[in-house]
Structure 1
Amino acid sequence: MQTAPSVSRKVSRPRADALRNRERIVTAAREMFVEFGPDVPFDDIARRAGVGNATVYRNFPDRGALVREVVCAVMDRTAEAAERALAETGDAFEALERFAHTAADERISALCPMIADTFDQNHPDLGAARVRAEGLVAQIMDRAKAAGQLRADVDFGDLLVGVAQLSRPPAGTGCLDADRFVHRHLQLFLDGMRAPARGVLPGAAVTVEDLRALSVP
């Protein structure tokens, strides 16, 4: 009696080298978007990533797909920074500071304006990354307020607007020497968010909803 030959079923999974290439492309694109803006040629991104042009187009068929991946990657890294800050420090305001400085290093001021100009800002990948980051930052701010360390008249949007403004210049300005001032001035801003408040802020706190309304073209 003959044994029926076994049938091997192959599960299609990205190869490790393919994943590494994709990560190298996203890293190179982020660097070049910050330096030169979102219109940098794909050929230049491929050269910096150390891959062929075909590899870039195979992973990202158009500019919108690449920009979306870069922005989502940045938001994921800032969310991970928030998670680590929540887990590793017992000081609520220190966790807030760690998140803010990480977000500044990611140059969100240069990348966020690309969302409205380059691709659908309601794409599900972007939405998921945004919701995760917003939820974690809200946890940090709520914890700092509960500990009496964060003034009560500020909200999520105040923090993000401050980080974005202070981590300028925007992409493509060629003024990257200003980076040496970013963390100094960001810390001044964060110290101004500490409780007890030294004065009354004009206007109302900036919420998540306010930021989303501003981002609509």
Structure 2
Amino acid sequence: MEISEPRLRADACRNRRRILAAAVDALVEHGADVPLDEIARRAGVGNATLYRRFPDRRDLIRHVCLDVMTALAEEAEQAKAEEPDAFMALRRFAHRAVDRRVGAIFPLLTDDMTDDDEFAMARDRLMRGLDTMMFEALESGLIRPDVALGDLMVALTQLTRPLPGSSCVNFESFAHRHLELLLDGMRAPQRSELPGPAFTLAELHRACGHHTD
């Protein structure tokens, strides 16, 4: 019995990771109304296993969003620690965000999800890392002074939002390619005048109808 319990815990962790990964793919392709049976099938687990881990659709989507946000916070911290300058750290993070397909996942968030303590901690951790990288990139003159973090997050959301239909092959490669075009446009010195002021994260939240602390 003492031998089997750790194995069961490891199996449960693996099943959870497989379900969350399958849920991301299914949610990106089909949206929030994808049948949970389809997610279980993709994960290679039975329906009972999925419902044991995630009792309903809202709970599963909440954990998917939380998992992505936590992973992105870790990506931001690692990029800042390992890259030679703040612009390269932002660039690395942005490509990881494309890989996580934030444009398809984050719109699934609802106010009651984002208001809980676990989400608030993950969100604040992520924003602290990104704010620091953006501030250091601006202070060192690596990016043009008329952009802000909200501009980058809007662009990432748009770049990673799935195109209508499901026939676009290698969509991720297009997103990474266009992200490089965006990042080149953020570099200093600026070569054009942008309309309007820099789009801060607080303004992004207000524009999307979310409150800010």
Q: TM-score, normalised by structure 1?
A: 0.86
- 1:154 pairs, out of 144, 147, 167, with 147
Supply the distance in 1 between the matched residues of 2:147 and 2:127 (Cα, whole angstroms).
15
- 2:120 pairs, out of 127, 130, 136, with 127
Supply the distance in 2 between the matched residues of 1:62 and 1:53 (Cα, whole angstroms).
11
Whether 1:26 aligns to 2:23 is no
- Deviation per CA, 1:52-75, whole angstroms, max 9, x where unpaired? 111111111111111111111111
Q: 1:175 to 1:206 in 2, by over 3 A?
A: farther
**175-184 vs 31-40, which moves further:** 175-184
Whether 1:173 aligns to 2:165 is yes
Contact 1:68 1:126 in 2 (8 A): no
Supply the distance in 1 between the matched residues of 2:103 and 2:15 (Cα, whole angstroms).
26
Other-structure match for 2:66: 72
Q: In structure 2, the residue corresponding to 1:158 is in which secondary structure?
A: helix
* Deviation of the 1:168 alpha carbon: 2.6
- 1:58 pairs, out of 52, 76, 95, with 52
What is the one-letter code of the residue matched to 1:105? Answer: D
Higher relative contact order (CA 8 A, sep 6+): 1
* Deviation of the 1:123 alpha carbon: 2.5
Contact 2:98 2:172 in 1 (8 A): no
Unmatched 5+ stretches in structure 2? 1-7
Q: Which residues in structure 2 correspond to 1:1-217 (within 5 Å)?
A: 15-116=9-110, 120-169=113-162, 173-177=165-169, 178-216=171-209
**95-104 vs 16-25, which moves further:** 16-25
**What is the percentage of aligned positions where both structures have the same residue?**
49
Contact 1:46 1:56 in 2 (8 A): yes
- Deviation per CA, 1:150-173, whole angstroms, max 9, x where unpaired? 112211110111111122325x73
Q: In structure 1, the residue corresponding to 2:110 is in which secondary structure?
A: helix
Other-structure match for 2:5: none
Q: TM-score, normalised by structure 2?
A: 0.87
Unmatched 5+ stretches in structure 1? 1-13
Q: Which has the higher helix share?
A: 2
Supply the distance in 2 between the matched residues of 1:46 and 1:144 (Cα, whole angstroms).
43
What is the one-letter code of the residue matched to 1:87? Answer: A
Q: In structure 1, the residue corresponding to 2:198 is in which secondary structure?
A: coil
Length, aligned pairs only: 202
RMSD: 1.9
* Deviation of the 1:175 alpha carbon: 4.3
What is the one-letter code of the residue matched to 1:21? Answer: N
Q: Which has the higher Rg, Structure 1 or Structure 2?
A: 1
Supply the distance in 2 between the matched residues of 1:131 and 1:175 (Cα, whole angstroms).
37
